[in-house]
């Protein structure tokens, strides 16, 4: 299966997609970097900031003002590894190390946007808004049906300038309308929520170099995350339990997002929690109910289960994995309820 997926819990999305053996489609940054040597410079976060005229620098060039956001210049493993907000010169000297860079602290919505690109021109996009949890986690993501015209104009111009001869999928993360990261792949957490035959269109893009996808009836989707505390053992659900989760009405998919045969320290996780599962659904309430059930099944204590439920109710307080804090509206106020 030449759709390369490093996480076995996401192979469910690609197992039945026909992809010729000579077509290589990355879903991971390690493969995106390897397959695209002419365009891998976009993985340099300092260059991404410089390309937009944002205040930024390396560890040996302290900022003139604080706070700033510090992160590795390149991180192909994700999950916010090595990131921090630096509030003072002392923070900078203690925490910004060789291999790190800093940039202006951005505020606003944290948006993950997938783009289909043909020779540097964008042919399709879809936006997902992150609702932050605590300690670098995301409570859930809203796969939006709406367009974001200002953001799309900005990203199209950036792609045209920086990926002028690229054909394939691109994922761009923005905060407050400015790009914090770019990836030569799509977001593999929620492809089941983009619509039927979307992955077939991705294969055609990489195989034939054109984009063709009927996307006229979008609906909102939700990707809800279950975190548990660090430092305790977790067991995978049995096949019967997992089948029951996936058979829940209005649930599109369930991912158990850790390796049962690896110790916790071998997983890259944000400081706010150990990611146990991801639930994708067209109905937020259905996903939140299943998350509460799974929290109990994973053996989370009563107060920990209450914290999981309260995260879903509070909507939008906490720390992002990108440089800034998100202020978001309650999605239940929209008409996209089940």
- Please say whether the beta carbons of 117 and 167 come within 8 A: yes
Do 173 and 190 have their domain in common?
yes
Mean pLDDT of successive 10-residue stretches along the chain, which has 338 residues? 86 94 95 96 97 97 96 84 90 96 95 98 97 84 97 98 98 97 97 95 98 93 95 92 97 96 85 92 97 94 63 42 34 35
Does residue 117 fall inside a structural domain? yes
Do 173 and 161 have their domain in common?
yes
Does residue 73 fall inside a structural domain? yes
- The CATH number of residue 52's host domain is 3.30.1490
Do 113 and 63 have their domain in common?
no
For position 132, what pLDDT does the model report? Answer: 86
Phi, psi for 151 (deg, rounded to 5): -65, -40
For position 303, what pLDDT does the model report? Answer: 67
Choose one of 208, 231, 262: the last residue of a domain. Answer: 208
Choose one of 181, 208, 235: the last residue of a domain. Answer: 208
For position 307, what pLDDT does the model report? Answer: 59
Does residue 332 fall inside a structural domain? no
For position 331, what pLDDT does the model report? Answer: 33
Structural domain containing residue 230:
223-322
Bond preceding residue 57 cis, omega within 30 of 0:
no
Location of structure tokens 């077939």 = 200
Location of structure tokens 């997983």 = 267
For position 326, what pLDDT does the model report? Answer: 33
Do 314 and 300 have their domain in common?
yes
For position 316, what pLDDT does the model report? Answer: 38
β-bridge pairing 3-4 and 25-26: parallel
d(CA 5, CA 238): 23
For position 232, what pLDDT does the model report? Answer: 87
Does residue 217 fall inside a structural domain? no
Do 51 and 152 have their domain in common?
no
pLDDT, tens only, 46-80: 999 999 999 999 999 999 999 999 999 999 987 56
Q: Is 229 left (phi over 0), alpha (psi -120 to 50) or beta?
A: beta
**How many domains does the chain contain in total?**
3
Do 232 and 317 have their domain in common?
yes
Choose one of 179, 208, 237: the last residue of a domain. Answer: 208
Do 24 and 142 have their domain in common?
yes
For position 305, what pLDDT does the model report? Answer: 61
Structure tokens of 93? 């000297």
Residues 6+ apart with CB under 8 A from 98: 59
Instruction: Kindly tell me the burial class for residue 319, based on how many C-beta atoms sit within 10 Å of its own C-beta (0-12, 13-18, 19 or more).
Output: buried
For position 308, what pLDDT does the model report? Answer: 57
- The CATH number of residue 163's host domain is 3.30.470
Does residue 331 fall inside a structural domain? no
pTM of the model: 0.87
For position 309, what pLDDT does the model report? Answer: 54
pLDDT, tens only, 91-135: 999 999 999 999 999 999 999 999 999 999 999 999 999 998 877
For position 314, what pLDDT does the model report? Answer: 47
């Amino acid at each position: 299966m030449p759709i390369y997926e490093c996480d076995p819990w996401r192979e469910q999305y690609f197992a039945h997609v026909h992809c010729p053996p000579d077509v290589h489609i990355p879903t991971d940054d390690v493969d995106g970097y390897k397959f695209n040597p002419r365009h891998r410079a976009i993985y340099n976060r300092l260059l991404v900031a410089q390309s937009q005229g944002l205040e930024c620098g390396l560890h040996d060039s302290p900022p003139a003002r604080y706070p700033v956001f510090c992160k590795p210049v390149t991180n192909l493993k994700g999950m916010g590894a090595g990131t921090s907000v630096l509030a003072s010169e002392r923070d900078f000297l203690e925490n910004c190390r060789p291999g790190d860079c800093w940039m202006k602290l951005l505020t606003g919505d944290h948006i993950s946007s997938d783009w289909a690109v043909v020779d540097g021109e964008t042919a399709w996009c879809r936006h997902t808004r992150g609702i932050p949890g605590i300690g670098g986690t995301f409570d859930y993501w809203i796969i939006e049906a709406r367009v974001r015209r200002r953001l799309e104009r900005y990203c199209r111009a950036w792609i045209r300038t920086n990926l002028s001869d690229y054909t394939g999928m691109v994922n761009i993360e923005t905060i407050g309308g400015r790009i914090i990261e770019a990836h030569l792949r799509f977001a593999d957490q929620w492809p089941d929520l983009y619509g039927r035959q979307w992955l077939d269109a991705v294969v055609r893009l990489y195989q034939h170099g054109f984009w063709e996808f009927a996307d006229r009836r979008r609906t909102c989707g939700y990707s809800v995350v279950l975190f548990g505390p660090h430092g305790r053992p977790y067991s995978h659900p049995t096949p019967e339990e997992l089948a029951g989760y996936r058979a829940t009405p209005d649930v599109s998919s369930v991912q158990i997002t850790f390796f049962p045969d690896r110790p916790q320290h071998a997983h890259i996780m944000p400081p706010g929690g150990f990611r146990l599962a991801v639930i994708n659904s067209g109905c937020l309430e259905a996903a939140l109910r299943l998350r509460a059930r799974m929290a109990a099944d994973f053996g989370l204590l009563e107060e920990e289960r209450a914290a999981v439920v309260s995260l879903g109710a509070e909507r939008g307080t906490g720390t992002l994995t990108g440089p800034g804090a998100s202020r978001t509206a309650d999605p239940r106020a929209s008409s996209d309820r089940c």
